[in-house]
């Protein structure tokens, strides 16, 4: 139970965040972490009023966004994503950067709940004054990220964070939505798992700007160096990326904190070259358009759920499809026509 003093402090903190959109945006752009957390909570909310309030704040913050490096980090579960982020994030804060981590946790398809344990796996970074860690549930969203990740990136940028790291739930070959919201796509791999060549597949490997062989320490160091050569040789077989830059392969040890400088140098070199070529800005423009299209799909889906007439017609079409009275294509076409009336 909270003491009276602690309760009053909490009340004042909450009351301070109940101002209008302009006040909340002002607090956020001044670097108020409580305001940032509040805004992300509003963005993630399923409540319509909360979402509208969040969008109003984001619109006011837009002039303060776009100045960070957005880094996507993915890899199979157990590869050490959280450990890598803590080690790399600590390295960056020591260099004077402000680091925001948006960690996506998988939601249960049964209970819809998430453990949200990423902060507990980043003990040092979670108490670092130059870092902000926000675990969020995937809530059924595909692509290894959440439906609110794009907006959360903008809010973190407006709060003054210049490196934004997005950790996915741990992906397979098709969960690549994160690629459409970051500047630099990093894939973590393990050596000695027998998948050096099996892991080289079109899809997620083609999109990687950097492949990192993690846990390159102790007896595993020799194996990691061998895996690096295998991956680097195989990546040369892929067509040149749109950035016109050949993906690189690095090794590192997240537990020992080794080679973090090599990872950062690769990232900054990529950013410099792509900004000079115009690819950096062009990619962000395409990502903004992608975000628009995703939002349109979201509103269509919400309309189907909230409009009683449409919901009833959808239920009717579902029955017709399951009883083979019509095709899914024809049923969908009828629903869309009704939606557009």
What is the sign, positive or negative, of the torsion defined by CA atoms of 273, 239, 182, 134?
Answer: negative
In a domain, 5, yes or no: no
Q: Are residues 167 and 272 in the same domain?
A: yes
Q: Print the domain residue range for 319.
A: 286-339
Provide the residue-wise pLDDT of the chain in tens; the chain has 341 residues: 455 455 545 544 444 444 578 899 999 999 999 999 999 999 888 888 888 899 999 999 999 999 999 999 988 778 889 899 999 999 999 999 999 999 876 543 333 333 444 555 688 898 999 999 998 765 444 433 456 888 999 999 999 999 999 988 665 544 567 888 899 999 998 887 655 445 445 567 788 899 999 999 998 999 999 999 988 888 888 888 899 999 999 999 999 999 999 999 999 999 999 999 999 999 999 999 988 888 888 888 888 888 999 999 999 999 999 999 999 999 999 999 998 87
Q: List Cβ neighbours of 226 (8 Å cut-off, separation of 6 or more).
A: 191, 196
Q: Residue 212's closest CA among 242, 184, 177, 243?
A: 184
Q: At what angle do helices 48-61 and 149-158 cross, to 10 degrees?
A: 40
Could you tell me if 92 and 231 lie in one domain? yes
- DSSP letter at 214 equals E
The CATH number of the domain where 19 resides is what? 1.20.5
Cβ atoms of 173 and 196 within 8 Å: the answer is no
Same domain, 252 and 305: no
Contact, 192 vs 222, CB < 8 A? no
Q: Is residue 53 part of a domain?
A: yes
pLDDT at 300: 86
184-190/69-75 β-pairing = parallel
What pLDDT is recorded for position 21?
80
Residue 2 belongs to a domain: no
Cβ neighbours of residue 239 under 8 Å, at least 6 residues apart? Answer: none
Nearest-angstrom CA–CA distance, 22 and 9: 23
Residues 255, 136 share a domain:
yes
Residue 140 sits in the same domain as residue 177: yes
Same domain (yes/no): 69, 58: no
Contact between residue 86 and residue 122 where contact means Cβ atoms under 8 Å apart: yes
pLDDT on residue 171: 55
Task: Tell me how many degrees the CA angle 277-275-261 measures, rounded to the nearest 5.
Answer: 120
Would you state the structure tokens that stand for residue 138, as one six-digit string?
Answer: 């995937």
Q: Are residues 101 and 231 in the same domain?
A: yes
CA distance 191 to 227: 6
Predicted TM-score (pTM) of this structure: 0.83
Q: Is residue 4 part of a domain?
A: no
Q: Could you tell me if residue 179 is inside a domain?
A: yes
Domain count, the chain: 3
Q: Do 206 and 183 reside in the same domain of the chain?
A: yes
| Residues 151 and 111 both lie in one domain | yes
Q: Do 73 and 36 belong to one domain?
A: no
Q: Both 172 and 263 in a single domain?
A: yes
Do 152 and 22 share a structural domain? Answer: no
Q: What are phi and psi of 323, to 5 degrees?
A: -100, 15
Q: Is residue 7 part of a domain?
A: no
């Amino acid at each position: 139970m909270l003491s009276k003093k602690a309760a009053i402090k909490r009340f004042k903190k909450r009351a301070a965040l109940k101002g209008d959109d302009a006040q909340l945006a002002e607090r956020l752009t001044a670097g108020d972490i409580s305001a940032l957390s509040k805004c992300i909570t509003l963005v993630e909310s399923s409540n319509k009023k909360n979402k509208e309030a969040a969008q109003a704040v984001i619109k006011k913050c837009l002039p303060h966004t776009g100045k960070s490096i957005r880094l996507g980090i993915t890899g199979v579960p157990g590869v050490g994503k959280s450990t890598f982020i803590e080690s790399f994030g600590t390295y960056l804060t020591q260099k004077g950067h402000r680091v925001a981590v948006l960690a996506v946790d998988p939601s249960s398809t049964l209970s819809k709940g998430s453990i949200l344990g990423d902060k507990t796996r980043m003990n040092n970074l979670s108490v670092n004054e130059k870092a902000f860690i926000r675990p969020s549930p995937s809530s059924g969203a595909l692509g290894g990220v959440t439906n609110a990740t794009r907006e959360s990136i903008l809010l973190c940028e407006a709060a003054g964070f210049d490196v934004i790291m997005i950790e996915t739930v741990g992906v397979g070959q098709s969960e690549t939505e994160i690629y459409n919201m970051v500047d630099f796509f990093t894939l973590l791999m393990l050596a000695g798992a027998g998948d050096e060549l099996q892991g080289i597949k079109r899809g997620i490997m083609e999109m990687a700007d950097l492949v990192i062989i993690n846990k390159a320490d102790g007896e595993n160091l020799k194996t990691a160096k061998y895996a690096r050569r295998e991956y680097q040789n195989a990546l040369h077989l892929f067509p040149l990326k749109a950035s016109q830059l050949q993906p690189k392969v690095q090794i590192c040890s997240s537990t020992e904190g080794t080679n973090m400088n090599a990872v950062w140098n690769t990232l900054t070199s990529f950013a410099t070259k792509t900004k000079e070529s115009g690819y950096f800005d062009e990619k962000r423009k395409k990502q903004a358009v992608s975000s628009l299209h995703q939002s349109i799909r979201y509103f269509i889906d919400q309309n189907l759920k909230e409009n009683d007439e449409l919901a009833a017609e959808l239920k009717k079409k579902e029955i017709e499809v399951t009883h083979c009275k019509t095709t899914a294509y024809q049923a969908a076409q009828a629903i869309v026509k009704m939606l557009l009336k």
